[in-house]
Structure 1
Amino acid sequence: MIIKQQKFNINGLDYTIRSAIHVDAEQLSKVRVKIDGETENMDREAGEGFIDVHGFEQIIQTDSESPTNLFLVAEVDGRIVGFSRCAGSNLKRLAHKVEFGICVLKDYWGYGIGKNLLKETIIWADSNSIKKISLAVLETNEKAIQLYEKLGFEIEGVLKRDKLLSDGNYYSTIMMGRYHD
């Protein structure tokens, strides 16, 4: 689905949040690899699960046409610095919910980009009969967990010893959900 773009100025940074479009595919392919290498909060390491330009073009087209998918980008001076995605299901028993994922380049943390991507997603979901947004977050990502709780998400469960990080230790994944009646 496509949403109307929104402009923000947080801590002196001007940025726009808008729906992803076809020409974003090349930047998205590169940005995703970079973000994966900047933090262990993601499921992948840099280069794993690589999506090329054609792959992103297909995702953007599918998400633009689907009423239960939403692909947003955060843009600063024509450069994509973060993105989020909701993916729903066509199955009748699952059609009321979407799965949410988000990532922002480390240089752009602290400007409310993640928060505003999520807020725009919540507005979209609430106005499009989406009853539940689900997400998964690494237990060590305390700032994200606090943000999710502040925006109405609840912890639904814990996947114990779910991820092996570079320090050789296993960490849990927190499953969270937000409901809208």
Structure 2
Amino acid sequence: MKIIKVTPTMAEAYVKLGAQLEAETDFLLYGAGERQMGIEQAETMLKSIQEQENAVILAAENDGELVGHIMCVGGRAERNRYTAQIVTGVMKMFQGQGIAAQLFRKMEKWAREHHIHRMELTVMVHNEPAIQLYKKAGFIKEGIKRDSLCVNNQWVDEYAMAKIL
């Protein structure tokens, strides 16, 4: 297992990973089949990330297949350029192997090298495994977003979590 930087040439593999993750869980923003991102759209998005000095996508690669990722995107304004939003996911069959923790360690190293001061994310309040992972990575709960998502016709709260570097 190795951690690599996702590049525009990996658009097809990245689309496949996203579709797999969204099919496996209800803990992500998009549900199964909801995101309509094609390879060309992914290429464009990955080029944009590559050109932004305060953004990166890292992925866990196993035998040439992407099995997990972490995206870090900093703000575009001068006032929030040092704050980055984090999005992550690991395929079910690879969970519990320390891959997410490895992705977070690599992301933090990258963030420090790129002068990110604050990393933030949201997580559904009933996603205990993710909350524990984020706490181990040094994130703290800063608040709660009440009824912020509607999943399977049920309102779901999210925790806002952050880590100051």
Task: Name the CA distance, whole Å, in 1 between partners of 2:116 and 2:28.
Answer: 25
1:22-75 superposed Cα distances (whole Å, 9 cap, x missing partner): 221111112211211111110111121221111111122222222100111111
- Once residues 169 and 54 of structure 1 are traced to their aligned partners in structure 2, the CA distance between those partners, rounded to angstroms, is 34
The 5 Å alignment of 1:1-181 reads 15-166=1-152, 168-180=153-165
Partner of 1:10: none
In 2, Cα distance between equivalents of 1:116 and 1:75:
12
**Quick one: percent identity of the two aligned structures?**
27
Q: Give, in angstroms, the shift of residue 157 of structure 1.
A: 1.1
Say whether the 8 Å CA contact 1:33–1:50 is kept in structure 2.
no
Provide structure 1 residue ranges, at least 5 long, that are not aligned to the other structure: 1-14
**Aligned-partner residue type, residue 97 of structure 1:** T
SS of the residue aligned with 1:70? Answer: strand
Name the aligned partner's letter for residue 14 of structure 2: L
CA distance in 1, matches of 2:77, 2:148: 27
1:165 maps to amino acid:
V
Q: Which runs of 5+ in 2 are unaligned?
A: none
Structure 1 vs Structure 2 CA RMSD: 1.3
